[in-house]
Structure 1
Amino acid sequence: MANTNLPEVWLRGPLPQLHPLLQPVAHALLQAREELNELMADFPNELLWNKVAGMASPGFHLQHLTGVLNRLFTYARGEALSEEQLNYLATEGKPTNKIYTVTELVENFNYEVNEAIQQLGTASEANLTDFRGVGRAQLPSTIIGLYTHSAEHTMRHLGQLIVTVGVLKELF
């Protein structure tokens, strides 16, 4: 859970292992992790796949947040997505034989944030503007573009998750 005595992550100082250009990405991902863990701490499994007013379910957001981080950081390494990653993408937010719990989905997200921070720690300023192909169409981006998008996309979906969870808690 987030420590309310601490300022937001971006005001706690730089992470020593990361290049200064990548600090905002890491700070956003760490802030999202703290907020998501606090938000989902007492959320009931029974509401995980509920939708309100056509909004995506909390379960979808949790799967999607994890999957997108994994995919974007794969592209940043210059790798193609594996069959496992493509299968994960195809099942985000859809019923499967696997029954997920809130705890499992949060732990999966936490793991992916840790992996992302580790990868950011190995990034070199020299290649941040190198191009990388994204998706099957190999649309152009840069490594720093992929990292930046991972941060903004994570925060966008966290915001949607906050609203959805808040509404579901009020209704149920």
Structure 2
Amino acid sequence: MSATQEYWLSGPIPEVPALLQPAAHALLQSVREARQYVSDFPEDKLWEKPFGRASVGFHLKHLTGVLDRLLTYVKKESLTDAQFQYLKNEANGEDAPSSQELILNFETKVNEALDYFKTVSETTLTDERFVGRKKLPTTVIGLLFHAAEHSQRHVGQLLVTVSVLKG
């Protein structure tokens, strides 16, 4: 597969159920694009908020945090204190890792998600799940699809923010 070919054109990911292939491809594409967009991004601008918008650092931290939380909900687990603390600090650049470390953290979480996808039976995709303290209803496939589309949305915002800050 070439570096310019999108993941959805690369064929199925082994052991990932057919109905989860689009979500898996989108997550892999998110990692590739995030890495590409910040490859030569100046670290001193990582937490800068152009026009009051979210920083590049926020988007990179948020990608990992959201995916982690959505995987927790799909497994019918409650968020931990550590996850709540991470959420609270997603916009905080104090003592934050470099952009490359943030991308590596996201890639690690995507690989964890893909490993989870391989354990999901397609017969459970419409099983009910609940999100947050309010226990908002969704399904297994709803959570996994949202994880993918949410990642793609933030990578798009990341691209715009990087472009603005690099001028």
State the secondary structure of the residue aligned to 2:15: coil
Task: Check the 8 A contact 1:134/1:141 in 2, yes or no.
Answer: yes
SS of residue matched to 1:88: helix
1:161 corresponds in structure 2 to: 158
Where does residue 71 of structure 1 map in the other structure? 69
Between the aligned partners of 1:129 and 1:99, the Cα distance in structure 2 is 38
Give the drift of 1:107. 0.9
Q: What is the Cα-based RMSD across aligned positions, in Å?
A: 1.1
8 Å CA contact 1:44, 1:102 repeated in 2: no
Render the CA deviation track for 1:140-165: whole Å, top value 9, x for unaligned: 01010000001111111110000000
CA–CA distance in structure 2, aligned partners of residues 107 and 19 of structure 1: 25
Looking at structure 1, the residues matched to 30 and 93 of structure 2 have their Cα atoms a distance apart, in angstroms, of 25
Q: Secondary structure at the match of 1:126?
A: helix
Does residue 90 (structure 1) correspond to residue 72 (structure 2)? The answer is no
Distance 2:64 2:76 in 1: 19
Contact 2:130/2:136 (<8 A) preserved: yes
- TM normalised by structure 2 equals 0.96
Instruction: Report percent identity of matched pairs.
Output: 52
- Structure 1 residues 23 and 101, CA gap change in structure 2 (3 angstroms): same
TM (norm. structure 1) is 0.93
Report the counterpart of residue 28 of structure 2 in structure 1: 30
Deviation string for 1:52-105 (max 9, x for gaps)? 112100011011111000000110011111111111001111243x24211111
How do 1:61-140 residues align onto structure 2 when only pairs under 5 Å count? Answer: 61-96=59-94, 98-140=95-137
Deviation track 1:103-156 (CA, whole Å, cap 9, x = no partner) reads: 111111111111111111111112111111101111101010000001111111
1:153 and 1:25 map into 2 onto residues whose CA distance is 10
Runs of 4+ in 1 over 2 A off after TM superposition: none
Measured in 2, the distance between the counterparts of 1:18 and 1:25 equals 10
Gaps of 5+ in 1: none
